Amino acid sequence: MTTSERKREDAEIRKDFPLLSPKTAYLDNSATTQKPRQVLEAVSHYYESENANPLRGLYQLSLKATDSYEQAREAVRAFIHAKSTEEIIFTRNATESLNLVGYSWTADNLKPEDEILITILEHHSNMLPWQQAAKRTGATLKYLECDKTGNITEEDFRRAITPKTKLVCMTHVSNVIGRTNDLKTFARIAHEYGAVFVADGAQSVPHMPVDVQDLDVDFLAFSGHKMLSPMGIGVLYGKKEILDAMQPFLYGGEMIEYVTREGATYAELPHKFEAGTVNAGGAVGLHAAIQYINSIGFDKIQEREDHLTAYAMEKIKEIPEVHILGSDDPKEHHGILTFTVDGVHPHDIAAMMDEDHVDVRAGHHCAQPLLKFLGTMSTARASFSFYNTEEEADRLVDSMKTLRKRMGY
């Protein structure tokens, strides 16, 4: 693609995002993405003309709200290739999805002699629920370590899993290193041992086609807000037979059939896991985001993100004081560049970059054990979305080059 073609494409995409402006390079997309007009309009259309409490009213408006909500569920099902909408549970975000499994599944399935296997790459939200589950059930939590580039091989995995392993929890793409785990292989091995496989898709579902049936994972959690949707809507995919056997997570309205003074019978899937009034506006926004992503297409999304990653990495290589965590291969980063600058604390990096209107994340990225394992406590992270541009990558690089001087070196 020529530079002028690329610029035309940049402009075409960026006109859909009201918040993006030439003034600021927003490069914190792994934390949350900006929202296209189409999503914002879908949400306001819902509240302007379809809003009522879904799933309970008998009047037209409530039926309309229910329809919109359930259509969003179908859109999510198709997006991740689940077998049925019963397997799609709306939550607040990936964290809540993982906690749902962390409470409901583990309560009846883990015993003191069992093991939970997770990796050192996990975000705290795919770590703390299992730490807590281990404490509650007496099961042992085991960590699978990666190499310095974030890679976990099939051999590593086979060495770590044992007949006692009942649950394996693993991120699809690391939010720090950007590396993809081969979930299909790991899920197959986990199933050989009779273990249930939980995948954290927060960093993968927004950036690549994900097919839950092909991967054959038992659960997949992801957040809407990292994929162009409003905040407060997320998804838990779970295989029907497993969800059916699980106890509810939250109790209250909308998740019951009959309630007596002594007890209740619970609603069918997926409503059993959606207690209380749901976030229909958020679901409608997620539906619009999926349509938007489909209209751009993952081919183009991946081409643009990979191009920017390679483009930036090539230039960053020339700056001796800047070091990128993980692989040297841009293809192994999925738009995520976590870096350090010799002698400059990450929070100072982010603050000085803010002075240059380049938005990057600094800190531990909710992955303290991983950073400790890699020998650093804190890093800065630039993460690209398909709507970012070469000019923005240049601004990142230009700012990086000035940091040491500005710190008085």
Partner 1 sequence: MHNTFYSEILTEHNLHPTHKHELPDANYELEGVNPSCGDDIILKLRVDDGVVKDGAFVGDGCAISQASADMMLDLVIGRPIEEAKRLSEIFLRMIKGKITEEEKEELEEAGALEDISHMPARVKCAVLGWHTMDEIFEDPDKAKKG
- Shortest distance (Å) from residue 31 CB to partner 1: 14
Dist. CA 285–CA 231, nearest whole Å: 9
Residue (236 or 344) nearer to partner 1, CB: 344
Structure tokens of 61?
């408006």
Beta strands, E only, 42-179: 88-91, 115-119, 140-144, 165-171
Query: Taking the complex as a whole, how short is the minimal distance between the CB of residue 279 and partner 1, in angstroms?
Result: 28
Q: Which helix (H) or strand (E) holds 359?
A: strand 358-359
In total, the chain counts a number of residues equal to 409
Structure tokens at 183: 């979930």
Please state the three-class secondary structure of 126-149 as a single string.
HCHHHHHHHHHHCCEEEEECCCCC
Number of Cβ within a 10 Å radius of residue 47: 11
CB of 366 to partner 1, least distance (A): 11
Residue whose entry in the numeric block shows the structure tokens 């990450």: 346
Return the number of the residue (331 or 347) whose C-beta is nearest partner 1: 347
**Is 366 an active-site residue?**
yes
Nearer to partner 1, 224 or 346 (CB): 346
**CB 254 → partner 1: shortest distance, Å?**
37
To the nearest whole angstrom, how small is the minimum distance from the Cβ of residue 345 to partner 1? 4
Helix/strand/coil for 236: strand
Buried-exposed string 216-237: b where 16+ CB fall within 10 A, e elsewhere = ebbbbbbbbbbbbbbbbbbbbb
Catalytic pick among 52, 231, 310, 366:
366
Nearer to partner 1, 81 or 323 (CB): 323
- Measured over the CA atoms of residue 157, residue 160, residue 163 and residue 165, the dihedral's sign is negative
- What residues line the site for partner 1 (CB under 8 A)? 344-348, 351-352, 355-356, 363-364, 377-378, 402, 406-409
Count of C-beta atoms within a 10 Å radius of residue 285: 29
Question: Is 202 within 8 Å of 123 (Cβ atoms)?
Answer: yes
In the complex with partner 1, the residue whose CB is nearer, 281 or 346, is: 346
Q: How far is the CB of 368 from partner 1 (least distance, A)?
A: 9
- Active-site residue numbers? 366
